[in-house]
Amino acid sequence: MAVQKMSQLFVRTLREDPADAEVPSHRWLVRAGYIRRAAPGIYSWLPLGLKVLAKVEQIVREEMVAIGAQEVRFPALLPREPYETTHRWTEYGPNLFRLKDRKGGDYLLGPTHEEMFTLMVKDLYSSYKDLPLTLFQIQTKYRDEARPRAGLLRGREFIMKDSYTFDMDAEGLQASYETHRGAYINVMDRLGLDYVIVKAMSGAMGGSASEEFLAIAPNGEDTFVRSPGGYAANVEAVTVVPPAAVDASATPAPLVIHTPGAGTIDTLVAAVNDTAPRADRAWTGADTLKNVVFMLANPDGTKEALIVGLPGDRDVDVKRLEAAIAPAEAVAFGDADFAAYPALVKGYIGPAKDRQAMLGKESVSGMRYLVDPRVVDGTAWVTGANVADHHVVNLVMGRDFSADGVIDVAEVRAGDPAPDGSGPLELARGVEMGHIFQLGTKYAESLGLKVLDANGKLATVTMGSYGIGISRAVAMVAETTCDERGLAWPRNLAPYDVIVIATGKDEALAVEAERIALELSVSGLDVLLDDRKASPGVKFTDAEVLGIPTVVVVGRGLANGVVEVRDRTAGTKDEVAVDDVVSRVIADVRGE
Amino acid sequence: MAVQKMSQLFVRTLREDPADAEVPSHRWLVRAGYIRRAAPGIYSWLPLGLKVLAKVEQIVREEMVAIGAQEVRFPALLPREPYETTHRWTEYGPNLFRLKDRKGGDYLLGPTHEEMFTLMVKDLYSSYKDLPLTLFQIQTKYRDEARPRAGLLRGREFIMKDSYTFDMDAEGLQASYETHRGAYINVMDRLGLDYVIVKAMSGAMGGSASEEFLAIAPNGEDTFVRSPGGYAANVEAVTVVPPAAVDASATPAPLVIHTPGAGTIDTLVAAVNDTAPRADRAWTGADTLKNVVFMLANPDGTKEALIVGLPGDRDVDVKRLEAAIAPAEAVAFGDADFAAYPALVKGYIGPAKDRQAMLGKESVSGMRYLVDPRVVDGTAWVTGANVADHHVVNLVMGRDFSADGVIDVAEVRAGDPAPDGSGPLELARGVEMGHIFQLGTKYAESLGLKVLDANGKLATVTMGSYGIGISRAVAMVAETTCDERGLAWPRNLAPYDVIVIATGKDEALAVEAERIALELSVSGLDVLLDDRKASPGVKFTDAEVLGIPTVVVVGRGLANGVVEVRDRTAGTKDEVAVDDVVSRVIADVRGE
């Protein structure tokens, strides 16, 4: 490979942060000239960025091929019909880019390709002998995010590897899933990411078991929990283990009390302990039952009210709620909505009033009412009395009120018990790098993917679906390796192995720098030569911003036969005899 | 690389032609399981097809890198604004896929990226010292073709290499253009295509000089001409050299004659020679002036009538007309349109009536009137008299009528003189594989790409734009190499170097086939092993359909120590000692 001269490389570093940069990776990828924004959430790749992208792509491809996956490529512009059949044309809601062609036909820009892969296998295969099968593609995908952010971390056009497995039964699917899981572990390891594998919900994908590979990052969008005993899940997937039912035979009858000014859980608890103290212990926020009203917007445009009852010391976690109600979305329950349900007394909503059910499908309000799993039979609650400035005490679940079902969407807190009994949970943040799903037969059933089994009978194929964000991985590696001076690539992903810099105006320095660059290049290294007529300071700064792992500085020391070798990540500077520099750099690059 | 077993390869060959296949490449790429249609003009790539695609891509990439081009990648989903600035948002008309995002913002799917590249260079560069610059990308593009056809040859989602050069002046552009031309010649040669480089019009690209690389194909969509002296152009770009003006001083005054029933050029010529014979020679069809009315639809929705006057022995070539009037499109001039222009007497339209101008902006009709370049001053014509059943004879251009200008859109015929005097033209057909343009300053001017020149003054950058159809190249190579038995890839593009087949049920044959396959694979060849339990006939047929260049048949001859080596393209079959087969195949593959 020829030495790339910096004077000819299509790159410019910026001294200022881009105005829209929220996270370090975004800031540095733009400042170092790796990417540029073309539109919100849509980026162009400059030469340096594209080289890193290609290396990430290649790692993923190698690990896919290693598990016997075969590469294909589907279009990004897709016809509506298959997505109509699986209802995703509608369920994706505003996240889907939809368009019409010149004849008025409906198309979409593919966010994921379950439908297309299912139909392709249906087209080609017909027998159990053809399975198992694993296919993958590396392809540009589209999602019209409401809030594209953080550069490549959450884009609207992005590059993904998606793969799909096809098996005859659940056992086969489990094996395919485990194989993919292993490949993803290899990918994450080769990317050098600090990651955790967490239980996940499958969301719009359908299906059952699923796990996410989260890169641990303090500013990550996803919250996950883990326990000392090894439990790990994203917050959407955490489940509360319901406590045992309580014997309420000794619990006094409900008592309505006057609670003027008790506008917060704290003031309410104080008022109740004052007016209607509990015999065994004081009332706490965990004894209050907060009833939060949402309006759910379904993808087909219909709306439906939902009331969530949960302990007053916890809020509804919006992400957990969204995951629980998907594909519907929760929107604000406005004044007009309250007006439409006159039974609701804002601020004093409760499930019962004068022994009459106020919440629930069969109640006075007719509004769907779901409660937190902690609201088990026999538990006694302090909650709204459906009268302004009044609450009710000792309202017992199962005795004095009931619900339409359970919804597990309260915020998870550090210290909460892990559902598998493996200890208290800690909370941390991460970025979703990969997601593996056991889809089961959902897509095969709706699109009719059946093959003949060993007995000559038609059997529905069982599928898995697996994704890795390739462009996101570029950003995440940048995010976790950069520092206050710029990018700092691991050697296996760096756009160049080494950058050679001559400092000073002496022509001999430039000549020697070029000689060293050439020798390194002949030895098979990818070499950048900063041949610009710029000050040493500018060159040093740019080399650090670009994040090339090794910097060779040919400067004043050359008169004494030495040059400097800097390691961008370690921050070390070594003086090396000029005759040894090539072998030294080669050893560094190859990790010898 | 591991041996790929046919039993596990995601492929199925079809015995029947797909219903929509118009050309052999489409038929065979589908039948051999290389591609599948996802929607009109939109295809999925199966493993075999993707391998060929990657090889074509790599050839193009290598030749681009060899001329110092730097690879970047722009989004396919692009914002409207830059295309609005250059008017292409409108000018592309229905060929552009347009869509709105969730906020109502306008986007398009990029058909070509001049705007984006121009803006990127403007963003990064500011000085003449930064130039020349060559950038390229290999990327998925979109065009909403009215008539997608012939599989990958004219698709709506397709893969292109597009590149752009940036220079300070016309001389630099010329040099960049020549360099690209050389790279394209290398690409076409490496693809093994029989091609011709023809002068072209630049169409919607704007700019001046441009050439097309046409693969010669009898069923190609593009017609081109060439002369014995080396002139070559596509029909849109051929120009008629206007004859010298004629001295009309002795030409008699115009004479209106009654021509009942002269509904064709032939009957008209006969009638005129009968009624108003010419003194020097007989009238011919080339002396008649046919006036054809079109309605032009502009991209902004406005319409305008256009009358083309041309010798009656030639028709208007619709492709030449479309190229000449782009971005407007010609639509039928219907009865309602005729009603709107009562001065027009259908079938008897002429440029003058009783010394009064009937056609032209300043005429009675007010309709724009353009004439063929052969209609020079002094030429005498037989043409419509604007009275039913009447024509006028000896109507002299420049004396009795005039036009608003010249339009060169008459059909080109074999035998017509080349415009450069290099002899008579022959016509042939081809498929556009590449197109190189000297854009000049059109995009740089409208988007403000200026850099400081050597004198410190702002100068507009001069650009070139260059495209190669990558997915089209896959189809075109298939088209020109396939035969009645299937695909027949050249060795450098084949998905596998060799396929090894065992025929017969003897287990020893299968074992030996696998051993040979493994040895070939260890030697670095890409090997497919047909391990299926299928008849020899099925295996032979499939090997031929797939088009793998070398077929090794392990059959009955093995008992005598020989196997068969077949060359798919040459059609040869050689018996080779089993001990020699590996070295023989390696030599064949490497061309030794």
Do A518 and A386 have their domain in common? no
Do A268 and A387 have their domain in common? yes
CB contact under 8 A, A71 and B79: no
- In our burial notation (b when 16+ CB lie closer than 10 A, e otherwise), range B108-122 reads bbbbbbbbbbbbbbb
Structure token digits, residue A198: 């967490």
Establish whether the linkage from the previous residue to A132 is cis, with ω within 30° of 0: yes
Residue B320 within any structural domain of the chain: yes
φ, ψ for residue B352, nearest 5 deg = -150, 160
Residues in chain A: 592
| pLDDT at residue A213, as a whole number | 97
Which stretch of A203-217, A304-318, A556-570, B147-161 has the lowest confidence by average pLDDT?
A203-217
Do A279 and A370 have their domain in common? yes
Do A384 and A269 have their domain in common? yes
Print the domain residue range for A553: 496-590
pLDDT in tens, B72-121: 999 999 999 999 999 999 989 899 999 999 999 999 999 999 999 999 99
Report angle CA B360, B362, B367 to the nearest 5 degrees.
Answer: 40
Q: Are the C-beta atoms of residues B469 and B158 closer than 8 Å to each other?
A: yes
CB contact under 8 A, B124 and A33: yes
Q: How far is A7 from chain B (nearest CA, A)?
A: 8
Model confidence band, residue A22 (pLDDT cutoffs 50, 70, 90): confident
Q: Are the C-beta atoms of residues A529 and A516 closer than 8 Å to each other?
A: no
Residue B51: CATH number of its domain: 3.30.930.10
| pLDDT at residue B208, as a whole number | 67
Total domains in the fold of chain A: 3
| pLDDT at residue B54, as a whole number | 98
User: A403: which DSSP letter?
Assistant: -
Residue A365 within any structural domain of the chain: yes
Do B470 and B517 have their domain in common? no
Q: Which residues of A touch B159 (CB under 8 A)?
A: none
Q: How far is B366 from chain A (nearest CA, A)?
A: 33
- Number of Cβ pairs < 8 A linking chain A and chain B: 135
Model confidence band, residue B301 (pLDDT cutoffs 50, 70, 90): confident
Residue B290 within any structural domain of the chain: yes
CB contact under 8 A, B77 and A39: yes
Residue by residue, DSSP assigns B143-194 as ---SS-BTGGGB-SEEEEEEEEEEESSHHHHHHHHHHHHHHHHHHHHHHT--
Prediction ipTM score: 0.90
Residue by residue, DSSP assigns B435-488 as EEEEEETHHHHHHT-EEE-TTS-EEE-EEEEEEEEHHHHHHHHHHHH-BTTB--
**Residue at which a domain ends, from B453, B479, B505:** B479
Q: Which residues of A touch B67 (CB under 8 A)?
A: none
Do B94 and B42 have their domain in common? yes
| Residue B575 β-bridge partners | B564
pLDDT in tens, A527-550: 999 999 999 999 999 999 999 999
Do B548 and B521 have their domain in common? yes
| pLDDT at residue A332, as a whole number | 79
Q: Which residues of A touch B53 (CB under 8 A)?
A: 73
C-alpha to C-alpha distance for B393 and B343, rounded to whole angstroms: 20
C-alpha to C-alpha distance for B14 and B382, rounded to whole angstroms: 59
Q: Which of A50-54, A216-220, A244-248 has the highest mean pLDDT?
A: A50-54
CB contact under 8 A, A50 and B71: yes
Do A72 and A27 have their domain in common? yes
Do B62 and B200 have their domain in common? yes
C-alpha to C-alpha distance for B145 and A517, rounded to whole angstroms: 49
CB contact under 8 A, A10 and B77: no
Average pLDDT over residues B192-208: 75
DSSP reduced 3-state for B306: strand
Residue B423 within any structural domain of the chain: no
Task: Say if residue A363 is exposed, middle or buried (CB neighbours under 10 Å; 0-12, 13-18, 19+).
Answer: buried
| Closest residue by Cα to residue B126 from A46, A27, A12, A34 | A12
Do A337 and A452 have their domain in common? no
Residue B534: CATH number of its domain: 3.40.50.800
DSSP reduced 3-state for B427: strand
C-alpha to C-alpha distance for A189 and A62, rounded to whole angstroms: 13
**Residue at which a domain ends, from B390, B406, B422:** B406
* Helix A47-66 and helix A170-191, axial crossing angle in degrees, nearest 10: 140
Residue A178 within any structural domain of the chain: yes
- Nearest residue of chain B to residue A48 (CA atoms): B72
Q: Which residues of A touch B38 (CB under 8 A)?
A: 74-75, 78-79, 116
**Greatest extent of chain B over all pairs of C-alpha atoms, in Å:** 97
| pLDDT at residue A208, as a whole number | 67
Residue B280 within any structural domain of the chain: yes
pLDDT in tens, B503-546: 988 899 999 999 999 999 999 999 999 999 999 999 999 999 99
Do B26 and B165 have their domain in common? yes
Structure token digits, residue B319: 């492709």
pLDDT in tens, A143-199: 999 888 888 888 999 999 999 999 999 999 999 999 999 999 999 999 999 999 999
DSSP reduced 3-state for A590: helix
Average pLDDT over residues B41-49: 97
| Closest residue by Cα to residue B141 from B589, B468, B569, B411 | B468
Residue A250 within any structural domain of the chain: no
pLDDT in tens, B424-439: 999 999 999 999 999 9
What residue type is A340 in one-letter code?
A: A
Q: How far is CA B144 from the centre of its chain?
A: 16
Q: Which residues of A touch B39 (CB under 8 A)?
A: 75, 77-79, 105, 107
Which residues make Cβ contacts (< 8 Å) with residue A383, sequence separation at least 6?
A: A288, A289, A290, A291, A309, A350, A351, A391, A392, A395
What's this model's pTM, rounded to 2 decimal places?
0.91
What residue type is B144 in one-letter code?
A: D
Q: Are the C-beta atoms of residues B305 and B291 closer than 8 Å to each other?
A: no
C-alpha to C-alpha distance for A541 and A31, rounded to whole angstroms: 12
CB contact under 8 A, A45 and B73: yes
Residue B2 within any structural domain of the chain: no
Pairing of strands A527-530, A498-502: parallel
Model confidence band, residue A202 (pLDDT cutoffs 50, 70, 90): low
Do B528 and B448 have their domain in common? no
Residue A377: CATH number of its domain: 3.90.960.10
Structure token digits, residue B46: 């199966």
**Residue at which a domain ends, from B416, B445, B479:** B479
Facing residue for A146 by CB, picked from B44, B75, B102: B102
- Torsion-angle region of B203 (φ positive above 0: left; ψ -120 to 50: alpha; else: beta): left
pLDDT in tens, B446-492: 999 999 999 999 999 999 999 999 999 999 999 999 999 999 999 99
| Residue A222 β-bridge partners | A430
**Tokens 């194989």 sit on residue:** A179
CB contact under 8 A, A45 and B156: no
Task: Count CB atoms within 10 A of the CB of residue A415.
Answer: 10
